[in-house]
Structure 1
């Protein structure tokens, strides 16, 4: 008959330590750990802490590394600090009291208010877009440049370059406005060629994510196509249905083509005839402006060989070829934010029942149920 000795018990514990550790917990420890977990949920996430609160932090060293990261090591550290300093920084209580963790630079007590206006990122991008898109109207070029240099886009670029912990503002984490303004000010303090290279390597590649149909809003795309075709000598322009399927079903599809003097110049699909005409008109415009899927954007080393100062004169405007009632400025949509309700904190004492979406089973995954889906 087999007898359990001390050696056998230790062997089984080592062999299956994961399952045995769960069973060896005392009764009071289980409730204690659950209570800690509930308190953690009630407290919420920990607030973000600046990197300077941790040891091994040297602001001058960070600025030195940042100057090499942006490709401008010859730029003075005080100039970079000035570009990274928002005017709200000097209103902070720790800066006013000159505490140790505030890290105010006594040699640089200025902000980037004047440098923001000197940032030439918009002028740089418009010149490049006029070179890359010679057939596009000025409205399209300005819309693309506005999209690439928006506050959200520049703040994302600034975060990727490491602005988050070296920028000096009153708030932390810094907001999008402070990050975007610091990026513009940085281009004004570094060398002109270095600034152009930095903008071209960080801002310009985001043009691949731009939807040319959504970036420019037109009130009547078909009317714009007709006016442009008339200016090119095409007299008769009309849309025609090329194909249709599932007309009597819940998901119909139409394919509409735009014909100019009997020749197909553009086509587009849609769930209704009106939507298909709209998409076909936009497809025709993108073909005329050479913005189709076959368009190749010059990037990389080819960008640095372009003389952007030769492309400062604007292209033609749509208002010169079309009537003003067919052109519509960009409309600011009302963005609806999701409202998060306040949880019933008193109900957390039920130890998170099996049907709660906050429960995390340690042994197996819970099978999704209809009432657990929010």
Structure 2
């Protein structure tokens, strides 16, 4: 008997692929197998099976590395120290990763298992003290650095920069890129941003007690100050009335108040006009700024003038990451700490 040949030979192959994928869908390998075949050769039934598979980034797949086999916590802590090229005391570094929420959750879990009170209690110290010490040092050191780099910047501006570099969002971002979340002992996973922030400051505190203030200052400088690259001063420091602040700064320097003048304009009778306003002091232009309205252009010109006064312009000199002088800023940070 002559066998009936399929119109398209690929159909039989796709049918075999479909059956094979169905049998292996429960193993979690479906997504990797379908990648072996082009989309046009994969039947619609296979694509519908793909839709039922949960993405790898979902909460059910979020697991800590400590839950995987062959996890050596002591070796990972040592590797973390070597990756950063810092000399930590291992006991202090391990303490820096222990959060109070982990101790409470672990003791509650043991108590739920019916263990004795002596077995329930964990002989661990949390990182509260190290975190407070590290945050205090970080703020003091950064304040002294900015006071030396931008002597004309007022205290509010320096405080805004320090608050930005020590904010929860930025510090947790730096901590994630250093893989601190994989070593953090926390009650939940993924580790919340506030816990990551506290753990990062605890690592700074552990380094301060292990290697001294000079090494710790370099650590803070290398990982936090680069986050200012590409950031405008007034994106970080919110100034409601830039023209009023400019008049105040010029008065301190015995300079007359600025006079705004329109220097250029375009599209005035359209829906998208643009104005350029220049600020003049003693018949000399000190700044110029654009804006969709005259008021916006005047405020932008005031911001340009303030950046020049404070030395925080876009073309300012890059930060000096060379080795700091002995005792510079570090002793001040320790004394204020």
Shorter-chain TM-score tier: 0.7 to 0.9
Equivalence for 1:180: 197
Equivalence for 1:83: 96
Which of 276, 297, 312 is the equivalent residue of 1:255?
A: 276
Cα distance change of structure 1 residues 38 and 107 upon mapping to structure 2, 3 Å threshold: closer
Matched-pair contact (CA < 8 Å) for 1:151–1:177: yes
Matched-pair contact (CA < 8 Å) for 1:130–1:311: no
More off after superposition, 207-216 vs 122-131: 207-216
Do structure 1's residue 246 and structure 2's residue 267 form an aligned pair?
A: yes
How many angstroms does 1:31 deviate by?
6.7
Cα distance change of structure 1 residues 159 and 38 upon mapping to structure 2, 3 Å threshold: closer
How many angstroms does 1:47 deviate by?
2.5
Q: Which has the higher helix share?
A: 2
How many angstroms does 1:57 deviate by?
1.1
Equivalence for 1:47: 61
Other structure's SS at 1:24 match: helix
**Distance in 1 between the 2:304 and 2:331 partners?**
30
Matched-pair contact (CA < 8 Å) for 1:71–1:194: no
Q: How does 1:195-274 map to 2 (within 5 A)?
A: 195-274=216-295
How many angstroms does 1:181 deviate by?
0.6
Cα distance change of structure 1 residues 34 and 44 upon mapping to structure 2, 3 Å threshold: farther
**Distance in 1 between the 2:296 and 2:129 partners?**
47
Equivalence for 1:151: 168
Q: TM-score, normalised by structure 1?
A: 0.70
> Which ranges in structure 2 are unaligned for 5 or more consecutive residues?
20-42, 112-120
Do structure 1's residue 112 and structure 2's residue 133 form an aligned pair?
A: no
Other structure's SS at 2:262 match: strand
More off after superposition, 79-88 vs 89-98: 89-98
1:187-237 deviation per Cα after TM superposition (whole angstroms, max 9, x unaligned): 112222322121111111112132201212222211221222223222342
**Distance in 1 between the 2:276 and 2:331 partners?**
42
Matched-pair contact (CA < 8 Å) for 1:128–1:311: no
Matched-pair contact (CA < 8 Å) for 2:107–2:122: no
Do structure 1's residue 161 and structure 2's residue 178 form an aligned pair?
A: yes
More off after superposition, 201-210 vs 269-278: 201-210
Other structure's SS at 1:203 match: helix
**Distance in 2 between the 1:291 and 1:111 partners?**
40
How many angstroms does 1:133 deviate by?
0.5
Which of 276, 284, 308 is the equivalent residue of 2:305?
A: 284
Matched-pair contact (CA < 8 Å) for 1:82–1:108: no
How many angstroms does 1:178 deviate by?
0.8
**Distance in 1 between the 2:75 and 2:266 partners?**
65
> Which ranges in structure 1 are unaligned for 5 or more consecutive residues?
1-8, 10-18, 99-105, 313-374
Other structure's SS at 2:14 match: coil
Paired positions, count: 289
**Distance in 2 between the 1:147 and 1:282 partners?**
19
More off after superposition, 289-298 vs 273-282: 289-298
**Distance in 2 between the 1:113 and 1:137 partners?**
32
